[in-house]
Amino acid sequence: MKNLYDDVFLYDSVHGGFADAETFDFYDRQISLYGAPVLELACGSGHVLIRLAEKGIEIFGLDISAKMLGACQRKAGERNVKVKIQAGDMRQFELGRKFKVIFIAGNSFQHLIENADVSACLDCVKRHLAPGGKFIVEVLNPYIPLLMRERGRKFMVGAFGNYVLTEDVRYRAATQVNHIRWHFWHRPTDEITTLSFALRQFFPQELNALFEFKGFCIEEKFGDFNQSAFSDDSPKQIIVAGLI
């Protein structure tokens, strides 16, 4: 079965609106507070990166998928924006320079499945942060009822253009990894394309502990892009961290 990021067209048809105004404003605000240059890890097809580059912010992107980077380059070209992006693994990169802000948007940090992956990524980030620099990560706030949905049953996600998207999930409690399959039904042809991906769940105290264990100091923890304080019902965990 293909991975979600192997089909950029379908990925983009769902995530087109993902960098909504509130998300974009959040990153824009953080960068105006802490400065540039900026590095986006797992920048994907550039929903956030292109808009920040469009504003004249000096920003670099890194992603493991050549297809996603290709789409990012193409979309930036269509908007006449120059983007500096390169292929690389957020667990192992050396860019030879430091950044005032490094961020990982769109739950991409949840692709770090093992603790060793998280540790390797945080080590790389530490080496690339300028003095006083900030690392910003957004992940989901795990919602147990959603994780524990009946196995094999398809649940509606929504309609995107000509597609209706349903999903089925298998959450493995031992590894804290949610294995997700997205089923895209193309209404005009009745064809179904299934794409898979996996998201490690980070429970709130665990996430804080991982950061602190690796020498980061959590300066802010928001529950959403409107910068509300993180609480029980927050959809997200958004950490702004510096180095101790």
Ligand X SMILES: C[S@@+](CC[C@H](N)C(=O)[O-])C[C@H]1O[C@@H](n2cnc3c(N)ncnc32)[C@H](O)[C@@H]1O
- Cβ proximity to ligand X: between 105 and 207 the closer is 105
| 30 lines the binding site for ligand X (CB under 6 A) | no
Sign for the CA dihedral angle at 11, 20, 79, 106 comes to negative
Min separation Cβ 90 and ligand X, Å: 4
Q: Confirm or reject binding of residue 58 to ligand X (CB under 6 A).
A: no
Transcribe 123-142 into DSSP letters.
HHHHHHEEEEEEEEEEEE--
CB 38 within 8 A of CB 56: no
Smaller CB separation from ligand X, 41 or 129: 41
In whole angstroms, give the CA distance from residue 91 to residue 112.
8
For residues 62-81, which are near ligand X according to CB under 6 A?
A: 63-65, 68
Closer residue to ligand X, CB minimum distance, 123 or 151: 123
**Does residue 52 bind ligand X (CB under 6 A)?**
no
Q: Which of 44, 133, 142, 223 binds ligand X (CB under 6 A)?
A: 44
Among the listed ranges 41-49, 123-131, 162-170, 206-214, the one in contact with ligand X (CB under 6 A) is 41-49
CB 39 within 8 A of CB 60: yes
Positions 149 through 168 that interact with ligand X (CB under 6 A): none
Q: Which stretch binds ligand X (CB under 6 A): 84-92, 159-167, 174-182, 203-211?
A: 84-92
Q: Rounded to the nearest 5 degrees, what angle is found at the Cα of 18, between the Cα atoms of 183 and 190?
A: 25
DSSP states of 6-52 as a string? Answer: G-HHHHHHHHTTTS-HHHHHHHHHHHHHH-S-EEEET-TT-HHHHHH
Interface residue list for ligand X (CB under 6 A): 5, 15, 42-48, 63-65, 68, 89-91, 105-108, 111
